[in-house]
Chains A and B, each alone.
Chain A
Amino acid sequence: EAGVAQSPRYKIIEKRQSVAFWCNPISGHATLYWYQQILGQGPKLLIQFQNNGVVDDSQLPKDRFSAERLKGVDSTLKIQPAKLEDSAVYLCASSLVRQGRETQYFGPGTRLLVL
Chain B
Amino acid sequence: AQSVSQHNHHVILSEAASLELGCNYSYGGTVNLFWYVQYPGQHLQLLLKYFSGDPLVKGIKGFEAEFIKSKFSFNLRKPSVQWSDTAEYFCAVNRRLYNTDKLIFGTGTRLQVFP
Contacts and interface: CB of A to CB of B under 8 A. Distances in A.
A3 B100 CA distance: 23
A91 B44 contact: yes
B101 interface: yes
B108 A102 contact: no
B106 interface: yes
A42 B43 contact: no
Nearest to B97: A56
B103 interface: yes
Interface string B78-114: 0000000000001010100000111101111000000
Contacts of A91: 43-44
Nearest to A101: B51
B100 A48 contact: yes
Nearest to B108: A42
Nearest to A48: B100
A108 to B, nearest CB: 4
Given A42-B107, A56-B100, A101-B32, A109 B43 contact: yes
A45 B103 contact: yes
Interface size class of A (residues with CB under 8 A): 20 to 34
A105 interface: yes
Dominant SS among interface residues on chain A: strand
* Listed residue (A42, A44, A93) with the most chain B CB atoms within 10 angstroms of its CB: A42
Contact of B101 (A43, A44, A102): A102
B107 A41 contact: yes
A55 B107 contact: no
Residue in A93, A104, A106 whose Cβ sees the most chain B Cβ within 10 Å: A104
B58 to A, nearest CB: 16
A107 B105 CA distance: 16
B47 to A, nearest CB: 12
Interface of B: 4, 32, 34, 36, 42-46, 49, 51, 90, 92, 94, 100-103, 105-108
Given A40-B107, A95-B101, A109-B43, 4 more contacts: A33-B103, A42-B90, A103-B34, A106-B44
